[in-house]
Amino acid sequence: MAIFEPTDENLSKAGELIRQGELVSFATETVYGLGANALNPEACEKIFKAKNRPHYDPLIVHLASVDQVDDICKEMPTKAQQAAEAFWPGSLTMILPKKDVVPDSITANLDTVAVRIPNHPVALGLLQNAKVPIAAPSANPFGYLSPTTAAHVEEQLGDKLQIILDGGECDCGVESTIIDFTTEPPELLRFGGISQEQIESVCGKINLGKPVLERPLAPGQLASHYSPNTELIILKEGESAKETDGKVGFLKFGDQNLNINVDQTEEVSLDGNLEEAAHNLFSALHKLDDSNLDVIYAYEFPDKGIGRAIMDRLKKAAVKL
């Protein structure tokens, strides 16, 4: 059992482990992270190994405070500074030009680095104790559903970890929004915890860009991300599910109903609240995926606010390679 309460003593031990080049999993407000000293390439190599993650998928570097940005980034454009003031600590990751201290192996040889200050006492406590930037992807095997509880991490990666710092259920429940501030206007690379509308209210118009994994330099590598093992089918509003002899799961939002017999329903929000649905999304998918079903159905989510991050995760979960 690798799950530990985030006492001062355990945070201090975990910080020490990070400095020694070991892995620590920790709660953030988005999803659980799998962290290592971002400035130590050998330590970060352990992340890629534990997750079975390809090196063309760069890591996000977590910082304790905004004055550390200067240690690892060449500059912070005005719009990035405005966004930092408005949304940090929080579920926004910024792409900025990197300094040489950041190992190329964690940025997939890009000349930029992804940076974020998480808004969770466990993540911040660990960062303060470690006293180094922490590279951390979500703490799941590459391609599988993201973890939003310590138990999810234990289940998926527990044998590879000495310590998982428990911070309860992740409040937000989907990963951070990623914005590339090296272009003008800035580009949104991944929908996440902070909506496009919120970012635009502070930074003005932003364009939609392509995430690293979908760029042509990685042909055919549009990974099936965030995937359950069970087949997931997304229906348009009013569309019918096919009759089946198999066992059916339903990821239900609001007062939706499925036209066929359902064996297991997981409700992400009874009253159709998108924030609540994001919070419950991965837990519901984990439960359905652990229930020996033949197929999971969900209807499309509204194309607004955090609903876009939910749809993005669902679409990726529905892709099978």
- What residue ranges bind Mg ion (CB under 5 A)? 138
Which of 27-35, 232-240, 259-267, 309-317 is the region at the interface with ligand TXA (rule: CB under 6 A)? 27-35
Looking at the Cβ atoms of 160 and 247, the one nearer to ligand TXA is 160
Residue labelled with tokens 């194309």: 303
Out of 10, 25, 40, 107, point to the residue binding ligand TXA (CB under 6 A). 107
33 binds ligand TXA (CB under 6 A): yes
Site string for ligand TXA, 66-105 (x = CB under 6 A): -------------------------x-x-x----------
Task: List, in sequence order, every residue forming a beta bridge with 252; answer none if it has no partner.
Answer: 267
By CB atoms closer than 10 A (0-12, 13-18, 19+), residue 274 is buried
Which of 15-23, 55-63, 260-268, 294-302 is the region at the interface with ligand TXA (rule: CB under 6 A)? 55-63
Site string for ligand TXA, 197-226 (x = CB under 6 A): --------------xxx-------------
Out of 2, 11, 15, 30, point to the residue binding ligand TXA (CB under 6 A). 30
Selection from ligand TXA, Mg ion, none that 114 binds (CB < 5 to 8 A by kind) is ligand TXA
Could you tell me if 171 and 282 are in contact, meaning their C-beta atoms sit under 8 angstroms apart?
Answer: no
Shortest spacing between CB 187 and ligand TXA, in angstroms: 9
Furthest CA-CA distance within the chain = 59
Site string for ligand TXA, 110-129 (x = CB under 6 A): x-xxx-x-x-----------
Out of 136, 164, 285, 293, point to the residue binding ligand TXA (CB under 6 A). 136
Report the interface residues with ligand TXA, using CB under 6 A. Answer: 28, 30-31, 33, 57-60, 91, 93, 95, 107, 110, 112-114, 116, 118, 136-138, 175-176, 178, 189-190, 211-213
